Amino acid sequence: MKTIIGSDLNLAKTLLYEGKLVAIPTETVYGLAANALNAEAVFDIFKVKERPAFDPLIVHIPSLECIDKYAMNVPALAYELAKTIWPGPLTLVLPKKSIIPDLVSSGLPTVGLRMPSHPLTLELLNSLEFPLAAPSANPFGYISPTTAKHVNDQLGGKIPYILDGGPCRVGLESTIVGFEGDEILIYRLGGLTLEAIRKIAPNCKLALNTSSNPQAPGMLKSHYASRHPLYIGEITSLIKKFAGKKIGIISFKDDFSASSDVLQQEILSATGNLDEAAVKLFSAMRSLDAFSLDIILSETFPDTGLGRAINDRLKRASS
């Protein structure tokens, strides 16, 4: 199959109506989209990604009003979060209506809903009569794509169209939350920070679901993995420990290239800005992966703001 890369919304729309797959840009990462109400089209997503059927998909919608089309018993807090953050990097896990095929939710009684913030994709969603199921547009277990080229590098030849919306503005997948009583359950830390959630729900208890829970396979312990083994810690001592190896480095702001074992280095933000580091993280992992190295070493990032989600991805990539 020939994969076309472009920004033709009409072509994207036609393909989606035909039940075909289209990679779409969002502010977080690129998604691999299909008509969420068409189980056969959704099945193709699992095939192309080689994704296990127990890993549910997020359903992308064009507006707040769509929440009630696809979910029920929606807590007031869910509307409040959506109203404040959407379009944006937040996925709400809510009891699903039966119109959502069981394949989308992997048999769970809930569905993840998200209104992404990207002008092309919002225009596309608004032109369709159905929502879009879309996981990150990478083979299962690998690093998520943040450019159209990343998508093409791995899924080129397997999908007809990549809608090119430029590089992703956030660079980390959405934060996924569910609700239990008055509690907000964080299934996956991502592009929306805990601090931002606390601001909207100051009196609400936040529970972090850190285990490898099959309910949220985005939380699987080994995920987002690079080809080269990755170790996290204090770089100077790790370089000593792995002396003689061909080393690639991911650092926040410091330069470690003076060591002769360091062949490649990715500094994510010379000014120490975590938002900038998040944008660059997955590209840096991909570009180090392309070199002939023995190992990748990464620093632990500050445990605040997007630093938490960056550390989460690094940890999973290192398991």
Cβ–Cβ < 8 Å for 28, 129: no
Taking the complex as a whole, how short is the minimal distance between the CB of residue 301 and ligand TXA, in angstroms? 19
Q: What is the CB neighbour count within 10 angstroms for residue 150?
A: 24
Residue 251 binds which of ligand TXA, Mg ion, none (CB < 5-8 A, kind-dependent): none
Binding of ligand TXA at residue 28 (CB under 6 A)?
Answer: yes
**What angle (nearest 5°) sits at the alpha carbon of residue 271, between those of residues 268 and 277?**
30
Q: Whats the size of the chain, residue-wise? A: 319
Binding of ligand TXA at residue 82 (CB under 6 A)?
Answer: no
Subset of residues 127 to 146 that bind ligand TXA, contact rule: CB under 6 A: 134-136
Taking the complex as a whole, how short is the minimal distance between the CB of residue 154 and Mg ion, in angstroms? 12
Binding of ligand TXA at residue 108 (CB under 6 A)?
Answer: yes
Closer to ligand TXA by CB, 212 or 269: give it: 212
Q: How far apart are CA 122 and CA 106, in angstroms?
A: 25
Q: How far apart are CA 292 and CA 73, in angstroms?
A: 52
Phi-psi region of 41 (alpha: psi -120 to 50; beta: other; left: phi over 0): alpha
Binding of ligand TXA at residue 179 (CB under 6 A)?
Answer: no
Residue 283 binds which of Mg ion, ligand TXA, none (CB < 5-8 A, kind-dependent): none
Residues 135-154 as x/- pattern, contact with Mg ion by CB under 5 A: -x------------------
Taking the complex as a whole, how short is the minimal distance between the CB of residue 186 and Mg ion, in angstroms? 17
Binding of ligand TXA at residue 42 (CB under 6 A)?
Answer: no
Residues 101-140 as x/- pattern, contact with Mg ion by CB under 5 A: -----------------------------------x----
SS3 of 61-105: CCCHHHHHHHECCCCHHHHHHHHHHCCCCEEEEEEECCCCCCCCC
Sorted by sequence, the CB contacts under 8 Å of residue 83 that are 6+ apart come out as 64
Q: Phi/psi of residue 96, each to 5°?
A: -95, 150
Taking the complex as a whole, how short is the minimal distance between the CB of residue 240 and ligand TXA, in angstroms? 36
Is cis: bond before 87, omega within 30 of 0?
yes
Binding of ligand TXA at residue 283 (CB under 6 A)?
Answer: no
* Element of type H or E holding 183: strand 183-188
Closer to ligand TXA by CB, 20 or 316: give it: 316
Cβ–Cβ < 8 Å for 279, 168: yes
Residue 90 binds which of Mg ion, ligand TXA, none (CB < 5-8 A, kind-dependent): none
Binding of Mg ion at residue 91 (CB under 5 A)?
Answer: no
Taking the complex as a whole, how short is the minimal distance between the CB of residue 200 and ligand TXA, in angstroms? 19
Closer to ligand TXA by CB, 7 or 215: give it: 215
**What is the per-residue DSSP string for 235-255?**
HHHHHHHTTTS-EEEEESS--
To the nearest 10°, report the CA torsion of 246, 250, 256, 257. 50
Closer to Mg ion by CB, 55 or 276: give it: 55
Binding of ligand TXA at residue 215 (CB under 6 A)?
Answer: yes
Binding site for Mg ion (CB under 5 A): 136
Binding site for ligand TXA (CB under 6 A): 26, 28-29, 31, 55-58, 91, 93, 105, 108, 110-112, 114, 116, 134-136, 173-174, 176, 187, 215-219
